[in-house]
Amino acid sequence: MIYNQKGFKVEKGLITLSHKYNKVPLAFEIPENYVFGKVYQVSIFYDGDNYYLSVVHEVPEESYLDNGLYQAIDLGITKTVTAINTHGMFHEVNNPRPDKYWNPKIDAIQSKRDHCKKGSRHWKQLHKAMNKRIKKRKNQIKDIQHKQTRKMVNNTRANTIIVGDLDVKEMPKSKKATSGLNRSTQNNGYISRFIRFLTYKAALAGKKVIEIDERNTSKRCYVCGKEHDMPLWKRTMECDCGNVIDRDRNSAINIMLRYLSQNARWQGYQQFVDNLRKTGLSVPKLEVHSQEAPSAREG
């Protein structure tokens, strides 16, 4: 049952619904550590052997202030996150890939199910078992993303987080797309959902996520600007200028430089370049990254 805007009351530590069970009003006690803002929706749903009450309510956001610290993020499949901050320090988060555990089990059950007559008792048993494993895979991936995004927001001093505007829906249409890549991005990647989680968690903490165009950030050398052919199996960028760097790190640096240059954050740009020099990385040429690029989109 779903109650949108009406059919419920939230008062005196209780959520009371308009429906009754055997003439007894349905009222649920709110735990002491829960404080709701304006409630928009209340729903009851059944999961397994238990009933749950879901409450959609307003959570106040902290005001955003640009503190001059930035963090650029390149999102991927093998590594969920490759991030670099204003100080030139990298932070990488590996993707545990629970789909690699569940996909073979799901495929095996699906193969057996497809050899049964649809709607038969055995077909129904296998179909139920397959859906159970699909749900477990989905829940594990979602739980991992919640934890990763929360940790990212809490552990950075930067109030501005820049991410690449990656269009996952367009990936399968690429000429270079493979079935393995499509399955990773569509069934495991959930990259767009990762960005949504990161955006609303950042807003609650008084921070902001800004998406910018990330075309060619993996192919373009951040030092000299030369573009290379970088198939997915090639994990290291090796340029004629002498720059040798992990492709994801190269992309994260390009995203940072692109944002700072196209938004005229020249002081932040110079500070970032100086910090790259201190960490031993090659220093980019300013004119390369002053090229026209699509404007940033705030999240």
CA 262 to chain centre: 24
Average pLDDT over residues 235-241: 90
Q: What is the SS3 assignment for 297? A: strand
Q: From CA 66, how far away is CA 105, in angstroms rounded?
A: 47
What is residue 47's predicted lDDT score, i.e. its pLDDT?
Answer: 77
Lowest-pLDDT choice from 39-53, 72-86, 116-130, 159-173: 159-173
Q: From CA 206, how far away is CA 203, in angstroms rounded?
A: 5
What is residue 172's predicted lDDT score, i.e. its pLDDT?
Answer: 47
In Å, the largest CA–CA distance within the chain is 79
Residue 292's pLDDT band, with cuts at 50, 70 and 90, is very low
Domain boundaries, the chain: 2-57, 70-95+156-298
| CB-based contact 193:104 (threshold 8 Å) | no
What is residue 7's predicted lDDT score, i.e. its pLDDT?
Answer: 84
Q: Is 293's pLDDT higher than 50?
A: no
What is residue 283's predicted lDDT score, i.e. its pLDDT?
Answer: 86
To the nearest whole percent, how much of the chain has pLDDT over 90?
40
Average pLDDT over residues 148-163: 93
Phi-psi region of 30 (alpha: psi -120 to 50; beta: other; left: phi over 0): beta
Across the strands, what pairs with 98?
Answer: none
Q: From CA 242, how far away is CA 246, in angstroms rounded?
A: 13
